Copies of this chain bind each other. A is one copy, B any other.
C-alpha cells in the first residue's frame, strides 16, 4: 500500500484560467474598456506582439487595444492525446473546472487531489503581461484585481483546498514590495516570480535591485514560485524543429534558473528565502548539483561568486523542486534530498493525468516507503507554504 488513504495529494503547480469577468467586474468604470476583457473576434486583429492576424469567430482577451491568443493556453484536461494540437479558443471548449473554483474542486475530487497551488494564465505565469503594459496605473489595478480574485474568490471559497499565490507589479520594486505586504496580510502564502527577470528586460538576479522584494518574501515566509517559461526564453533549437523538441527541453529552463540563483548573492543575503522551481522535474538534480559543485570548486577563485558555501548546500537550504512523472527523480530522492521534492498535478495542462492523478501516483510510489511518500505528496508542501487546509 504505497500511497496510504490518509495521505493527501497537495499539488504545487496547477493553472487557473481566469473567468471572463475577472477584471471587468473589479476595475473602475473608466478602465473597463481598456482593461482585460473577453470579446468575440472576427476579421483582422492586432496581437499583443504587435503583428496583425485574421481570425474567424473566436473568443479572445483584449487589453489596451491589443488581442491575446490562447484563451486557455493548453487547457486540454479531459481530452485524449489524439485531440491535442489546437488550443481551445472558446470558454465552451474547456472544462468549467478551468475557471470556476467550485467546479475545480469537483475535478480535484475526481482526480484524488486535496489541494492545489494555481499559476495565472492571461497575466503570464508570473505577471509579465502587466509588466509590459503601457498604462501602469491600469496595470497596477489589474495586478491587485487578480490578487483579490485569488484571495477572496478562488481560494476564499475553499480555503482548505487552494494555496493562495499572488503576482506582483514587477515594473516597480517599491510597488512590488507594497503589493506583497498587502497580499501577505490578506492571506497570500506564495508569490509567482519570473524564472529569470532578465529574459524580458527587468533587473537580473545578480543586480541587487530585487533585494527589497526578497527581504519581504523572506520575512513573510512566502516562497517565490518560478514556473518554467516565465523568462520568455526557450532553449535554442533549429527553426524547423518539431514542437516536441522544445516541450522535451523546457525543464532545462529550470536548470538555467537554478544555476543563476546558486551563483548569485541572493541566498547569502537572504538565508531563509524560499524558491520553488515549478514543472521542471527533479530527476536531473543529482547530476546538476554535482556539476555545480565541481564548477564552484574549480572556478570560484577568479569569478565573482561566494567562495565559502557550496552550491548544493544552498540548494538543500533554499530551493524546492516538483515533478509530475519522474521515475529517476523518485529513485534518486535521497541524493536530491527527500525534503526538497514536492508533487504537482498540472491541471488542466497536457502533462496532467486528470482524472487519474492519484492512481498514477500510487503506481509511481509502489516501491517507496510510506514516510518518503508522505513527505513528497503532502508534508513538504504543507511546511513550505505554511498550509494547514
What's the Cα separation between A81 and B331 when bound, in Å? Answer: 34
Q: Which residue of B lies closest to A302 (CB)?
A: B85
Q: Is the CB of B286 within 8 A of A260?
A: no
Q: Residue A296 at the B interface, CB < 8 A?
A: yes
The interface size of chain A toward B, counting residues with CB under 8 Å, comes to 70
Q: Mark A243-279, 1 if CB is under 8 A from B, else 0.
A: 1111111011001100110011000000000000000
Q: Is the CB of B327 within 8 A of A286?
A: yes
Q: Is the CB of A236 within 8 A of B237?
A: no
Q: Is the CB of A291 within 8 A of B287?
A: no
Q: Is the CB of B332 within 8 A of A331?
A: yes
Q: Residue A348 at the B interface, CB < 8 A?
A: no
Q: Is the CB of A259 within 8 A of B287?
A: no
B-binding segment of A38-46, A52-60, A203-211, A365-373 = A203-211
What's the Cα separation between A281 and B198 when bound, in Å? Answer: 28
Q: Which residue of B lies closest to A327 (CB)?
A: B290
Shortest Cβ distance from A327 into chain B, in angstroms? 6
Q: Is the CB of B288 within 8 A of A284?
A: yes
Q: Is the CB of A240 within 8 A of B299?
A: no
Shortest Cβ distance from A324 into chain B, in angstroms? 9
Q: Residue A69 at the B interface, CB < 8 A?
A: no
Q: Is the CB of A292 within 8 A of B241?
A: no
Shortest Cβ distance from A256 into chain B, in angstroms? 5
Number of copies of this chain that the complex holds: 2
Q: Mark A284-328, 1 if CB is under 8 A from B, else 0.
A: 101110111011111111111100000100000000000001111
Q: Is the CB of A207 within 8 A of B286?
A: no
Picked from B281, B295, B331, the residue with its CB within 8 Å of the CB of A291 is B281
What's the Cα separation between A248 and B226 when bound, in Å? Answer: 20
Q: Residue A24 at the B interface, CB < 8 A?
A: no
When distances are taken between beta carbons in the complex, the residues of chain B under 8 Å from A28 are none
Other A-B pairs beyond A85-B303, A231-B236, 15, CB < 8 Å? A81-B297, A81-B300, A82-B301, A86-B302, A196-B237, A198-B239, A199-B236, A233-B236, A242-B305, A248-B263, A248-B311, A284-B284, A290-B327, A290-B328, A331-B332
The 21 sampled A-B contact pairs (Cβ below 8 Å) are: A81-B301, A82-B301, A85-B301, A85-B303, A196-B236, A235-B255, A236-B256, A238-B260, A241-B260, A242-B303, A244-B299, A245-B260, A245-B263, A247-B299, A248-B263, A248-B295, A248-B311, A249-B259, A252-B252, A286-B327, A332-B332
